[in-house]
Amino acid sequence: MRDFSRRGVLGLGLGAAAAGIAGCGGGGSGPGKPGPLPTAAGRAPARPIGDGSTADTGPQPHQPDEPVPLQPGETPPQFVVFSWDGAGEIGNGLFPRFLKLAKDHGAGMTFFLSGIYLLPESKRSLYRPPNNPVGASDIGYLKDENVRATLQYVREAWLDGHEIGTHFNGHFCGGSGSVAKWTPDDWQSEIDQAVSFVTNWRTNTGFTDVDPLPFDYREELAGGRTPCLLGRDNLLPTARRLGWRYDSSSPGGLQVWPVKKGGLWDLPLQSLPFPGHSFEVLSMDYNILANQSKSTTRGVPAHYPGWRAQATATYLGGFRRAYETNRAPLFIGNHFEEWNGGIYMDAVEEALKGMADKRDVRLVSFRQFTDWLDVQDPEVLAKLRALGPGQSPGVGWAAYLAA
């Protein structure tokens, strides 16, 4: 409902698995004047921002009710956050597929948009990544038609109530230019550029026939996830200075209630029981893949049915462990990819369907979950954090959280 070991292998960005995504950007001869902005019935007229790439259209639609503190003895909700790294539409139809799935089940999600997915390759020299050559990127730039589609679905996502976060830009995980070696000032530059690509796509693309993104991205941006879950220690001071509220870059958390680190809520991917193994696996599609087909995203097709079932069971097993015990939130990370025949997309869909109709379940975005955390009694949160993975309150919730 919409109410409010090997496990250390790190996830990749969308383009890292999609070799050849990059295409020539047509871009046109220059930006045109933005056209009139559509207004929804009952909403104030949209106010263009900057070159008209974005617009202030008022409060975001389809948000949960205002969060309230848990009442004494109340059972905590079971929060589940599905998030997407990169959030670009490369022509495989996955972005609209999961927007529809979310709408069908009243789910909120977080889309960590990579800024360069709104920058045509013809303008790649505008990107100056810290400690890397001008225009460099370890993920591909999108073709013009894919930039258009990404704009369409990011716009639709926000209007459906989902969160638009950031996955930064060039996804540098190795070598001397790795994000693991970036300073707070490097992160500031990277974030400034990501915001610029989102808020100036009309100038950079020359598109005059595409609607603006219906939000002020500087106000919208509340958190992100770093490439390969690297570099967060130096990101946090910058994120705090920018007023971000959470970070989802920790390389491997547990299924426990979160704490703040560096002034931000620490909302990491989590270690989940991995069927058939004695170790646990990180709650992301790529990490499951790395334990199934190892170094390839195109494993033996005969294994796909078993791997799909194993991935689905991993997500549902992690859900049940929390739902039936400490009610810790579950965080699942994904990419719009078709690795191993698309089995991980099928697994995510089946898992979401298996969670959505359960009592007390809230499928929300990271920002919506952060809203809930911020109004809770610190003493209640401390009692929730005292429960380890798979640990139930022995006396029952009514007694454990009594006044």
pLDDT at 241: 98
pLDDT at 76: 98
Residue 78 DSSP SS3: strand
Those residues whose C-beta lies under 8 Å from the C-beta of residue 80, and which sit 6 or more positions away, are 319, 329, 330, 331, 332, 352, 355, 361, 362, 363, 364
Nearest 5°: the CA angle 60, 61, 63 is 90
For 354-402, what is each residue's pLDDT tens digit?
999 999 999 999 999 999 999 999 999 999 999 999 999 999 999 999 9
Nearest 5°: the CA angle 278, 280, 283 is 155
Q: Phi/psi of residue 165, each to 5°? A: -100, -155
Q: Helix 232-241 to helix 184-199 angle, to the nearest 10 degrees?
A: 60
Rounded mean pLDDT of 194-206?
98
**41 has pLDDT over 60:** no
Residue type, 10: L
Q: Which helix (H) or strand (E) holds 150?
A: helix 144-159
Percent of the chain with pLDDT over 90: 88
**81 has pLDDT over 70:** yes
Average of per-residue pLDDT values in the chain: 91
| Encoded tokens for 167 | 């996955």
Rounded mean pLDDT of 137-162?
98
**180 has pLDDT over 90:** yes
| Dihedral class, residue 389 (left if φ above 0, else alpha if ψ from -120 to 50, else beta) | beta
Nearest alpha carbon to residue 194 among 137, 268, 267, 273: 137
Nearest alpha carbon to residue 270 among 6, 7, 4, 82: 7
| Sheet bearing 264-266, strands edge to edge | 246-247, 264-266, 260-261
Residue type, 5: S
Rounded mean pLDDT of 318-341?
98
Q: Are 224 and 167 in contact (CB under 8 A)?
A: yes
**1 has pLDDT over 70:** no
pLDDT at 28: 30
Those residues whose C-beta lies under 8 Å from the C-beta of residue 352, and which sit 6 or more positions away, are 80, 82, 101, 105, 107, 363
Q: Which domains does the chain have, with CATH numbers?
A: 14-19+79-378 (3.20.20.370)
Nearest alpha carbon to residue 4 among 374, 397, 352, 396: 374
pLDDT at 44: 66
DSSP class of residue 340?
G
**18 has pLDDT over 50:** no
CA end-to-end span of the chain, whole Å?
27
**32 has pLDDT over 90:** no
For 107-134, what is each residue's pLDDT tens digit?
999 999 999 999 999 999 999 999 999 9
DSSP per-residue codes, 319-332: HHHHHTTT---EEE
pLDDT band at 27 (very low <50, low <70, confident <90, very high): very low
CA distance 23 to 141: 7
Rounded mean pLDDT of 8-35?
33
CA distance 86 to 168: 8
Question: CA–CA distance from 142 to each of 25, 29, 148 (Å)?
Answer: 8, 19, 10
Question: With the C-alpha atoms ordered 152, 157, 158, 163, is the resulting torsion angle positive or negative?
Answer: negative
**8 has pLDDT over 60:** no
pLDDT at 227: 97
pLDDT at 273: 97
Q: Phi/psi of residue 56, each to 5°? A: -85, 110
pLDDT at 42: 54
| Encoded tokens for 195 | 């915001």
| Encoded tokens for 62 | 């389809």
Rounded mean pLDDT of 310-336?
98
CA distance 279 to 311: 14
Q: Are 77 and 3 in contact (CB under 8 A)?
A: yes
Q: Are 283 and 318 in contact (CB under 8 A)?
A: yes
Residue 297 DSSP SS3: coil
